[in-house]
Amino acid sequence: IHFKLFSLLTGDGTQDIILSPQYDEFYAKNVHKNFGDIGTTIKDLMDTFNLKRKGQKEITSIADMKEFVEGYPAFKKLSGTVSKHLSVVGHLSNLVARYNLLEISRLEQELVVYPDHSSVVQRLKLLVTDPKVRKHDVLRLILLYALRYERSSSSQVEDLCRMTGDSRVAPAVKGFLRYGGAAHRSLDLFGTQDPVRITQRLFKGLKEDLIVFVVGGVTYEESLAVASFNALHLKPSTGSGNQSNPRPRVILGGTNVLNSKAFLEQIIPTLFSEMERE
């Protein structure tokens, strides 16, 4: 993470933070958690650090000095971990508040799971006209709404497009529906199937390691599904003679890692690049 871009410094004055599950135990345990859960784990980490800091006793003897020196590397490592992850979460928290991302995320989830059109459309109109909400977030919300209520007689997608005050949004929505609308996809986009269960079904009875490579890109949701599957179902088992029989793994790859911005850049590149420049 290059915090120089955000004018954010960590406690030790560095501008770059390296997050690697190989070297960072806290990151490895929490890499797939959502932002709300991370807040809880950060608090637990802080509580652990404060307990250890308060437990540092006064040095009055050679034995105390030896004990301090032996325990100092672990304490310093914990201190660095706390400082690093507080910086990351603090910056993320600022972004969430600045761009009203919590309300956006809540509405996105309700659009998919709770099809209460009256409530959804009123809240969506508020976000469309909210100056804190970025243009590409507004576009994403309208696109998701258009997909959800594409065949609904009560759809207000045209009104939402007009409310943006941007004449480019309506053609973009129509183009997006031509790409991924109900007539152009074979799967139930708004079904309730758990991605992890889908992964389990696909990989059931797997005998060898499997590489899943997606041309066009993958998201962290697929990464979570594969990681959860590997963690829960592909642990080494004990066979006859107490010999370990390692089970196969699923390895995920793709041409790139996508978020909504990267995906929209692929589907409607001209409009999206113009919005990013404004």
User: pLDDT truncated to tens, each residue of the chain (278 aa)?
Assistant: 555 444 444 445 556 777 888 888 888 889 888 888 888 888 888 888 777 776 665 656 666 556 655 565 676 777 778 888 888 888 888 999 999 999 999 999 999 887 788 989 999 999 999 999 999 899 999 999 999 998 888 899 999 999 999 888 998 898 888 888 887 776 667 765 665 666 666 666 666 788 899 998 999 889 998 888 888 765 555 554 444 556 778 899 999 999 988 888 887 776 555 555 65
Last residue of a domain, one of 76, 98, 120: 98
Give the DSSP letter string of 78-110.
HHHHHHHHHHHHHHHHHHHHHTTHHHHHHHHHH
Q: What is the largest CA-CA distance in the chain?
A: 81
**CATH code, 76:** 3.90.830
Last residue of a domain, one of 98, 116, 138: 98
Task: Note whether 152 and 135 are same-domain residues.
Answer: yes
Distance of CA 122 to the CA centre of its chain: 26
In this prediction, residue 153 carries a pLDDT of 86
The Cα–Cα gap between 256 and 259 comes to 10
Number of folded domains that form the chain: 3
In this prediction, residue 70 carries a pLDDT of 59
- pTM here is 0.74
Task: Note whether 230 and 167 are same-domain residues.
Answer: no
